[in-house]
């Protein structure tokens, strides 16, 4: 069991915390609207969080396998979860069979 989130880690669908879900949803919507991933500064403004807090969240999302980044390339965040697993999929009316 993960001590951080309190959820069991298994081979099934990956689970994220409520706060991680908000960040994942923001990244997804931002990419859909602007055609590129948000910078950490964009997340900082949106969540009204400190730079170190946002950076730790991004590192945690990557460590937990929810996102992938390319070292040295700005705005290179890719979400590794299907859109229908994100908490905004109903709001977006996203069709999981079509890419965002």
In a domain, 90, yes or no: no
Domain that holds residue 69: 18-82
* Structure token pair of residue 5: 């989130």
DSSP of 1-60, one letter per residue?
Answer: --TTT-----SSS----HHHHHHHHHHHHHHHHHSSPPPHHHHHHHHT--HHHHHHHHHH
Count of other CB atoms within 10 angstroms of residue 20: 19
pTM of the complete model beyond 0.85: no
In a domain, 98, yes or no: no
Q: What is the CATH number of the domain that holds 25?
A: 1.10.10.10
Please report which confidence band the pLDDT of residue 11 belongs to, taking 50, 70 and 90 as the band edges.
very low
At 39-80, the pLDDT tens digits run 999 999 999 999 999 999 999 999 999 999 999 999 999 999
**Contact (CB, 8 A) for 5 and 15:** yes
**Domains held by the chain: number:** 1
In a domain, 45, yes or no: yes
* Structure token pair of residue 68: 């992938």
């Amino acid at each position: 069991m993960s001590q951080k989130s309190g959820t069991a880690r298994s081979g099934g669908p990956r689970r994220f915390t409520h706060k991680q879900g908000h960040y994942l949803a923001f990244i997804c919507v931002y990419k859909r609207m602007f055609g590129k991933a948000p910078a950490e500064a964009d997340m900082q403004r949106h969540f009204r969080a400190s730079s170190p807090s946002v950076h730790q969240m991004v590192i945690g999302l990557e460590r937990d396998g929810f996102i992938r980044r390319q070292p040295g390339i700005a705005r290179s965040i890719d979400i590794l979860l299907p859109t229908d697993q994100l908490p905004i999929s109903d709001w977006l009316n996203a069709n999981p069979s079509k890419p965002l």
